[in-house]
Amino acid sequence: MGKILVIDDEKSIRRALKEILEFEDFEVDEAEDGKEGLEKAKNSFYDVIFCDIKMPKMDGMEVLENLQKEKIESPIIMISGHGNIETAVEAIKKGAFDFIEKPLDLNRILVTIRNAGDKQTLVEEKKTLKKTVQRFKGSSIIGETSDIVKIKEMIAKVGPSDARVLITGENGTGKELVARSLHDNSERKDKPFVEVNCAAIPAELIESELFGHEKGAFTSAVKQKKGKFELASTGTLFLDEIGDMSASAQAKVLRALQENTIQRVGGEKNIKVNPRIVAATNKNLRQEIEDGNFREDLFHRLSVILIHVPTLNEREEDIPLLADHFLTMTCADHGIPRKKFSEDALEALKNTNWSGNIRELRNVIERMVILCDNEITGFDVNTFSNPRS
């Protein structure tokens, strides 16, 4: 269920907490003083930390202050047999999640752990939401051409299931937006959406990124780290550019999908995971299979549902809708009074060769909003874009 650190100089308290928590399926580490506890917290991830206040070498308040300085985000629950209201208030002010008096009450402990876990989940979801808002502010699948309507219908039908989906299409066509829409239409929509760009991570680090690692697994592994499969276990894992994944990582991903278990790099323990998998690629995976670059068995595991996103040149009639959307969004972002397109500007946009697809269209419109007059003309479009020959 999770990993917990107990910092207390009383062996009987550590033993009692350990027995209680292990009975509830938690993994428990112990530290007999503040210094040892601080070192363990710095070098490993814990879902919750229990910390006594009165201890030799370094008392609990010092430990709490040092954990805050190290930006350790684990909820910290202070415990003490000499506590009072003033002590509890001081601990909470310094960043503790809660304060429990000794003798410890089993029900209070378990309720506090559950509440701490709920808080951490909200924190992670808030971080994910902030990133989503920053990168996809005001975004949605915009378009009325038949191909886009079919994609929207497919998302509505497939989204509520846990079926694996493989999204194909050129760079910049909006594959990630389709993946996020699948997540937002699923029963996991309130859980994390975790993205891995398989092309952006060096081959030697991709396994650590996906499955996590134990402390000391390799030179820079100074502390334990959870991988994306664990972080997305209750939500959706989006494997972008999966066609660029190394053969070794492909084999381990296949095993994870078959058995719903993973092993961290440098670890031997099997960890249960259950993310919904959505993958995307700009490559022809069938050709990659023929060329020996991609596993056929992994392809079939990933492609329960196939969704192909067309290029922008193939959905010319959607360009005015997209252009107006990006115009509105860019003017708002830059605090510029809303500009408009002339009729010949919209025709010029439709006659442009969008080799970079929607991403290029968005960049060109942002450039024109900043540099052009209140009405963007066909001349402006031809100046800042690449008209078709």
Distance between terminal CA atoms of the chain?
A: 61
Q: 295 and 155: one domain?
A: yes
Residue 378 included in any domain: yes
Q: What angle do CA 299, 302, 307 make, to 5 degrees?
A: 100
Q: 114 and 218: one domain?
A: no
Q: 50 and 90: one domain?
A: yes
Point out the domain boundary residue: 308, 323, 338: 308
Domain containing 349 — which CATH number?
1.10.8.60
Q: 259 and 293: one domain?
A: yes
Average pLDDT, the chain: 90
Q: Containing domain of residue 376, as a range?
A: 312-384
Residue 1 has a pLDDT of: 57
Residue 134 included in any domain: no
Q: 206 and 273: one domain?
A: yes
Residue 173 has a pLDDT of: 96
Residue 44 has a pLDDT of: 86
Q: 323 and 294: one domain?
A: no
pLDDT digits (tens, 9 = 90+) for 24-54: 888 999 999 999 999 999 888 898 999 998 8
Q: 247 and 172: one domain?
A: yes
Residue 337 included in any domain: yes
Q: 184 and 209: one domain?
A: yes
Number of domains forming the structure of the chain: 3
Domain containing 63 — which CATH number?
3.40.50.2300
Whose CA is closest to 381, among 370, 360, 365?
365
Whose CA is closest to 211, among 261, 172, 173?
261
Q: How far is residue 356 from each of residues 170, 172, 173, 311, measured CA to CA in Å?
A: 9, 6, 8, 9
Residue 92 included in any domain: yes
Q: 254 and 355: one domain?
A: no
Q: 334 and 299: one domain?
A: no
Q: 183 and 289: one domain?
A: yes
Domain containing 163 — which CATH number?
3.40.50.300
Quickly state the pLDDT bin for 135 (edges 50, 70, 90).
very low
Residue 106 has a pLDDT of: 83
The pairing of beta strand 271-272 with beta strand 261-262 = antiparallel
What's this model's pTM, rounded to 2 decimal places? 0.68
- Between 84-98, 155-169, 187-201, 285-299, the lowest mean confidence (pLDDT) is in 84-98
Q: 68 and 187: one domain?
A: no
Residue 249 included in any domain: yes
